[in-house]
């Protein structure tokens, strides 16, 4: 079974406003609750398309209970460690006037060393039945980035492939253990390699650096420019499918779900990329973070193009 490990799962409250103005009271045109936290988003998407997974991490308070109930309703198994404080709510503000999106996040989990030990034990137990691991995201206060170094190394010891997605110090720490796949966006990748990712060639050059330095396979998501997969012996460009975007929140996390599904089914990576792009496109049509409809995913699958890179 697919195992997703998210130390800092959230509930996202997405608010749609038509023209955000500071120092004024505004009414939303609509709002929606959805899942947040990169690996848990993958479980959320997998549940919608009928692929089982087990989601673990930390959870607290009424928001933690809401996280578990939302996942369970989608057919996702959960085994979260109860901790102090309250699980996060991210407030996502989508301005439909200028097509911008901003996120305000809170940090409220209270993690003790005993909680860290409990999650580690639960993780090691779950690895025995895992077909692959998806891990990453932000970390609660007092949880060090080295948690990703440890978790990825343990999965590799169990010969379980790992898909990793994080940023900054968390990304750097996880890469030390050489995850099988890493899924940075252009900004996360730029922070790692030290230069802006403005073109496909920039992304390819940076991806090759990750392959050589960390022996990983980077799948680089590039917003409206699509995605680029850099393997040790080849590369693929995945152009975007054109749709009217409602919200892009969580679209990149759909690639995590696609890759995990292909590993779970013992399929070639190309099938994971195909499903990832189809699911990401379906997410763009929905107002909630990482939300999608199975029918949309199936509709977009035949439209996905996987092109050898460099393009001829």
Cα-Cα end-to-end distance for the chain: 39
Mean pLDDT over 163-183 rounds to 98
- State how many domains the chain has: 1
Three-class SS state of 95:
strand
CA distance 256 to 247: 18
pLDDT at 247 over 90: no
**CA separation, residue 231 to residues 113, 163, 200 (Å):** 38, 14, 15
pTM metric for this prediction: 0.94
Condensed to tens digits (0 to 9), the pLDDT of residues 116-150 reads: 999 999 999 999 999 999 999 999 999 999 999 99
In a domain, 113, yes or no: no
Per the domain annotation, does 171 fall within a domain? yes
What is the domain range of residue 204? 2-20+27-106+124-308
Residue 115 falls inside a structural domain:
no
> Which pLDDT value is given to residue 215?
98
Is the preceding omega at residue 92 within 30 degrees of 0, hence cis? Answer: no
Other CB atoms within a 10 A radius of the CB of residue 4 amount to 34
Confirm whether 49 is domain-assigned. Answer: yes
Query: Does residue 119 form part of some domain?
Result: no
- What is residue 105's predicted lDDT score, i.e. its pLDDT? 85
Give the least confident one: 96-105, 182-191, 236-245, 246-255. 96-105
304 lies in some domain: yes
pLDDT for res 130: 99
| Residue 312, pLDDT above cutoff 80 | no
CATH number for position 231: 3.40.1190.20
DSSP-derived letter for residue 185 is: B
* Mean pLDDT score across all residues of the chain: 96
Instruction: Specify the pLDDT at position 274.
Output: 99
Domain-located, residue 9 = yes
Q: Is 116 inside any structural domain?
A: no
């Amino acid at each position: 079974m697919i195992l997703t490990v998210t130390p800092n799962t959230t509930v996202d409250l997405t608010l749609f406003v038509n023209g955000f103005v500071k120092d004024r009271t505004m009414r939303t045109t609509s709002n929606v609750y959805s899942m947040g936290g990169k690996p848990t988003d993958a479980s959320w998407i997998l549940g919608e398309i009928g692929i089982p997974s087990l989601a673990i991490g930390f959870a607290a308070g009424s928001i933690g209970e809401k996280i578990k109930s939302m996942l369970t309703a989608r057919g996702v198994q959960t085994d979260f460690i109860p901790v102090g404080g309250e699980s996060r709510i991210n407030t996502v503000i989508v301005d439909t006037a200028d097509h911008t999106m901003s996120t305000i996040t809170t940090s409220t989990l209270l993690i003790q060393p005993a909680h860290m030990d409990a999650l580690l034990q639960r993780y090691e137990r779950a690895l025995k039945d895992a077909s692959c691991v998806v891990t990453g995201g932000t970390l609660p206060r007092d949880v060090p980035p080295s948690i990703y170094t440890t978790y990825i190394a343990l999965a590799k010891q169990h010969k379980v492939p790992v898909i990793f997605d994080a940023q900054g110090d968390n990304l750097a720490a996880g890469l030390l253990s050489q995850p099988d796949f890493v899924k940075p966006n252009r900004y996360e990748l730029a922070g790692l390699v030290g230069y802006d990712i403005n073109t496909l060639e920039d992304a390819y050059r940076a991806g090759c650096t990750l392959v050589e330095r960390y022996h990983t396979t980077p799948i680089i998501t590039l917003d409206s420019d699509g995605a680029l997969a850099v393997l040790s012996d080849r590369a693929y460009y995945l152009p975007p499918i054109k749709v009217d975007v409602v919200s892009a929140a969580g679209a990149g996390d759909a690639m995590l779900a696609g890759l995990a599904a292909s590993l779970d089914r013992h399929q070639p990576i190309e099938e994971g990329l195909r499903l990832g792009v189809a699911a990401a496109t379906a997410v763009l049509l929905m107002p909630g973070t990482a939300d999608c409809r199975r029918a949309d995913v199936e509709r977009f699958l035949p439209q996905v193009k996987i092109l050898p890179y460099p393009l001829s």
